[in-house]
Amino acid sequence: MHENIVETQECVSVRERKYLIANIMMLVTIVLWGISFISIKIAVAEVPPVTLALIRFVIASVMLWGLLKKNESNAKIDKADCPRMILAGCLGITLYFYFENIGVQLTTAVNASLIVTIIPIIAIGLDVLFFRAPLSPLKITGIAIAAIGMYLSVTANGELDFSSAHFVGNLFVIGAMLSWTFYTLVNKSLQNKYSGLCMTTYQTVIGTFFLLPLSLTEWTEWRIFSLTAFWHILFLAVCCSVVCYLLYMYALKYLDVAITTLYLNLVPVVGVMGGYFILGESVLPIQLAGGLLTLLAILIMNFDRSGKIPDHPGQRVLDNT
């Protein structure tokens, strides 16, 4: 009897320790993903945006391929799934980072971070449109609130200024968000067939391949860049595209979807704080209000009638950030 009690206490202790470690890993992941916008902003000052993405994902592809061969040596993609896998790689890597890096170059890290909050809203909207997901009054309310929040965050001063470089940059970031949400929808039919590591590896390699011709359009801007830019690119590749993925996968084993979803909603908060304190970028109260409204919309749309937060297409929106 005594031995059973001790064994039970040890099992509880192990679970609690793993739960704590998972939370710590999730926090580390959110911080690293949040400050990735700062690294992109610093690096694109020296390296053309598409070339930056290419270098980053060449490094990430090599590391991910090594991890895949070590952990899932027999992992292969069925021929029937190749078109969708290629499309996902183009959407989630090539187009997403093409738009994001150019957008961050033109706008601010703060603006880009705030605009990221619209991803789950767009993903849910597309899920309703393409997969006939039920649209409740609560979701309609959330979408309406999110639309207001997005407008305030994107326009910054509450007015459309088509001549502003920041505004054009904001549009590029929105393009990145749209690319990612379509990428998520494409992956929806593949998630039950392949592991996360397998999908991420193949799609990263595919997306990197298609970044190559796009980067050649910037060859006149190619210069030897500083060690500072190199370290930021290495940080983006190793920490944000590989290490954070592994931490995130571990956290998903021990944390409820509700918790991980709420953690992901903190990424823009970290990005805004980083842009403000590290880069000295300004953030207008109206932008913060827009960001808070969008976060409120996300919470509203995630809570069902029972008060639980279900999984949704926006859950994986930052896996490759």
| Rg value, the chain, Cα | 20
State what percent of residues in the chain have pLDDT above 70: 75
pLDDT band for position 189 (cuts 50, 70, 90) = confident
pLDDT digits (tens, 9 = 90+) for 36-72: 989 999 999 999 999 999 999 999 999 999 999 999 9
Higher pLDDT, residue 231 or 148 = 231
Confirm whether pTM is higher than 0.85. no
The pair of structure tokens assigned to 112 is 């880009």
Which residues does 81 contact at the CB level (< 8 Å), separation at least 6?
Answer: 190, 193, 194
Distances, alpha carbon 248 to alpha carbons 28, 29, 99, in Å? 9, 7, 24
- Does pLDDT of 313 surpass 50? no
| Residue 317 to residue 321: CA distance in whole angstroms | 8
- Does pLDDT of 9 surpass 70? no
Distances, alpha carbon 51 to alpha carbons 98, 162, 233, in Å? 9, 27, 11
**For position 320, what pLDDT does the model report?**
45
| Residue 138 to residue 295: CA distance in whole angstroms | 15
Find where tokens 């954070």 sit. 244
Element (H, E) at 206: helix 196-216
- Name the burial class of residue 15, with classes exposed (0-12), middle (13-18) and buried (19+) by CB atoms within 10 angstroms of its CB: exposed
Distances, alpha carbon 297 to alpha carbons 16, 35, 147, 167, in Å? 32, 23, 9, 23
pLDDT digits (tens, 9 = 90+) for 137-180: 777 777 777 777 766 766 655 555 555 667 788 889 889 888 88
Higher pLDDT, residue 285 or 102 = 102
Give me the chain's average pLDDT, please: 80
**For position 156, what pLDDT does the model report?**
58
Which of 3-12, 76-85, 286-295 has the highest mean predicted lDDT (pLDDT)? 76-85
**For position 56, what pLDDT does the model report?**
96
Cα angle: 187, vertex 189, 193; to 5 degrees: 95
- CA-CA-CA-CA dihedral for 169, 172, 178, 184, to nearest 10: -100
Average of pLDDT values for 292-315? Answer: 56
**For position 204, what pLDDT does the model report?**
94
Higher pLDDT, residue 191 or 85 = 85
